[in-house]
């Protein structure tokens, strides 16, 4: 599942000699860059490979440290144990407020030299740049912007069931019944805590709107967490279970996407990394599959920015490899090729989007529109809204409630209040 670091000295020497021979003065030393990520599904692996190839074209060696497990929980556990034993990888996918947690431990190295020579401050929107900085210095580089609140659908299954793509929660529940009667699974889902949380935050937005989402999932306001609106959101969330199938327990998200692709299921609520799976299967949006904002969330955009944070490394050649990686990530070639495969949009708003499909175009438009109107909110389920311990506590409540036939929505709301208070 995960490739632990192997002794690299010999390979490094050989690679160094080879590169010195071919590139001469343009490339002083070949370094190693070990990159921890959890991009292991078909679409994700294609995307990650883009970066590997670019790094290797520059003469450096990419050591892949892929830890399977959607949402990255397992990857983060493995990263912690590697860091505790004093041997972190040189780069790791770390996102949102967690970048600050690693920065506070003093383990991250500065990318300010690269940022300055490449003009990152001018290229990145302020909201994105701020997340990448610790104590005013760049310690991470953004890869993309994912939108979490998407609905994916198989148009043939919808047609067979005689329903249109739902735009509200009520329409979704009604369509679900018709789809079930027509013999299909209405909503493909994988019963894993992070997937439950992904559906939960989307239903919360649809039920109670952007301001309420912010009060609960960002500010952890106890009054809002225990309120009637939260209870209603939890009830709607639990109703989604009726649209799912019995085999969902433990299922990976990309397997759920493949149920939509094959026509076993009609729809999936998932971030746009799901589009990477449709793309990898050679399918076209608007024809072979449909994308739309999750029902009831047209005026919201739950953002999820993937980023690579850099750990301090001692060898000069490795630092060079690490800085090369960071530079490449924000260059137009990587931003385009990677994001076309990953399903996301570029982290830099100044790039040509003409080759991107209609879902990506809509994502960019909605990102800008919701930023102006106030509906651009950080995804709790994907580590953008709160610290990791708070996120873990919310996951526990959400997934226990979703899976327990006995817990009432009132009890779950109360647990949410206690969970947020316990970790504050």
Binding residues for ligand GAL, per CB under 6 A?
38-39, 44, 70-72, 146, 253, 273, 304, 306, 382
Least spacing, CB of residue 99 vs ligand GAL, in Å: 13
Closer to ligand GAL by Cβ: residue 271 or 296 = 271
Least spacing, CB of residue 102 vs ligand GAL, in Å: 16
Planar angle of CA 73, 283, 40, nearest 5 degrees: 25
Closer to ligand GAL by Cβ: residue 138 or 303 = 303
Least spacing, CB of residue 342 vs ligand GAL, in Å: 7
Closer to ligand GAL by Cβ: residue 29 or 399 = 399
d(CA 414, CA 397) in angstroms, rounded, equals: 10
Q: Which residue is nearest to ligand GAL (CB)?
A: 70
Closer to ligand GAL by Cβ: residue 67 or 206 = 67
Least spacing, CB of residue 254 vs ligand GAL, in Å: 8
- Of 5, 32, 28, the C-alpha closest to 17 is 28
Q: Which residue has the tokens 């971030």?
A: 271
Least spacing, CB of residue 52 vs ligand GAL, in Å: 16
Query: Which letter does DSSP use for residue 199 in this model?
Result: H
Residue 12 in tokens: 């490094």
- Give, to the nearest 10 degrees, the angle between helix 332-342 and helix 42-57: 160
Query: Which letter does DSSP use for residue 376 in this model?
Result: E
Closer to ligand GAL by Cβ: residue 128 or 157 = 128
Least spacing, CB of residue 386 vs ligand GAL, in Å: 14
Burial label for 136, CB within 10 Å (0-12, 13-18, 19+), is exposed
Closer to ligand GAL by Cβ: residue 184 or 356 = 356
Least spacing, CB of residue 394 vs ligand GAL, in Å: 15
d(CA 311, CA 351) in angstroms, rounded, equals: 28
Closer to ligand GAL by Cβ: residue 109 or 343 = 343
**Phi, psi of 168, deg, nearest 5:** -135, 165
Ordered DSSP codes for 288-309: TBEEEEPTT-TT-EEEE--EEE
Q: Is 109 left (phi over 0), alpha (psi -120 to 50) or beta?
A: beta
Planar angle of CA 387, 392, 396, nearest 5 degrees: 150
Least spacing, CB of residue 70 vs ligand GAL, in Å: 4
d(CA 146, CA 383) in angstroms, rounded, equals: 12
Closer to ligand GAL by Cβ: residue 244 or 384 = 384
Compute the Cα dihedral for 263, 268, 274, 279 and give only its sign.
positive
- Give, to the nearest 10 degrees, the angle between helix 42-57 and helix 316-329: 120
Q: What's the distance, Cα to Cα, between the start and end of the chain in Å?
A: 34
Least spacing, CB of residue 39 vs ligand GAL, in Å: 6
Closer to ligand GAL by Cβ: residue 52 or 180 = 52
């Amino acid at each position: 599942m995960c490739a632990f670091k192997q002794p690299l000295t010999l390979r490094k020497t050989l690679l160094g000699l080879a590169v010195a021979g071919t590139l001469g003065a343009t490339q002083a030393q070949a370094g190693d860059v070990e990159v921890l990520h959890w991009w292991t599904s078909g679409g994700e692996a294609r995307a990650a490979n883009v970066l590997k190839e670019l790094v290797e074209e520059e003469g450096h060696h990419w050591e892949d440290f892929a830890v399977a497990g959607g949402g990255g929980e397992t990857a983060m556990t493995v990263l912690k144990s590697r860091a505790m034993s004093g041997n972190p990888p040189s780069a790791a996918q770390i996102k949102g407020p967690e970048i600050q947690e690693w920065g506070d431990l003093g383990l991250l190295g500065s990318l300010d030299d690269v940022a300055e020579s490449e003009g990152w401050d001018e290229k990145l929107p302020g909201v994105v740049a701020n997340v990448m900085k610790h104590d005013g210095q760049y310690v991470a580089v953004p890869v993309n912007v994912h939108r979490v609140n998407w609905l994916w659908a198989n148009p043939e299954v919808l047609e067979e069931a005689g329903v249109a793509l739902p735009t509200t929660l009520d329409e979704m529940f009604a369509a679900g019944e018709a789809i079930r009667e027509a013999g299909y699974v209405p909503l493909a889902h994988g019963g894993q805590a992070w997937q439950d949380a992904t559906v939960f935050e989307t239903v919360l937005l649809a039920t109670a709107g952007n301001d309420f989402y912010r009060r609960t999932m960002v500010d952890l306001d106890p009054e809002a967490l225990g309120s009637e609106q939260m209870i209603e959101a939890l009830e709607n969330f639990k109703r989604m279970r009726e649209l799912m199938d019995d085999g969902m327990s433990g299922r990976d998200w990309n397997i759920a996407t493949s149920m939509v692709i094959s026509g076993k299921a009609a729809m999936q609520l998932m971030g746009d990394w799901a589009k990477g799976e449709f793309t990898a299967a050679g399918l076209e949006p608007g024809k072979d599959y449909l994308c739309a904002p999750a029902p009831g969330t047209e005026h919201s955009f739950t953002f999820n920015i993937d980023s690579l944070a850099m750990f301090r490394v001692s060898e000069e050649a490795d630092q060079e490899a690490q800085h090369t990686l960071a530079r490449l990530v924000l260059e137009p070639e990587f931003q385009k090729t990677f994001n076309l495969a990953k399903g996301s949009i570029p982290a830099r708003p100044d790039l040509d989007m003409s080759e991107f499909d209609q879902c990506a175009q809509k994502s960019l438009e909605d990102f800008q529109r919701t930023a102006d109107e106030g509906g651009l909110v950080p995804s709790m389920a994907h580590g953008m809204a709160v610290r990791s311990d708070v996120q873990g506590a919310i996951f526990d409540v959400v997934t226990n409630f979703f899976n327990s036939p006995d817990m009432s929505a009132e009890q779950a709301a109360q647990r949410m209040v206690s969970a947020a208070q316990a970790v504050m």
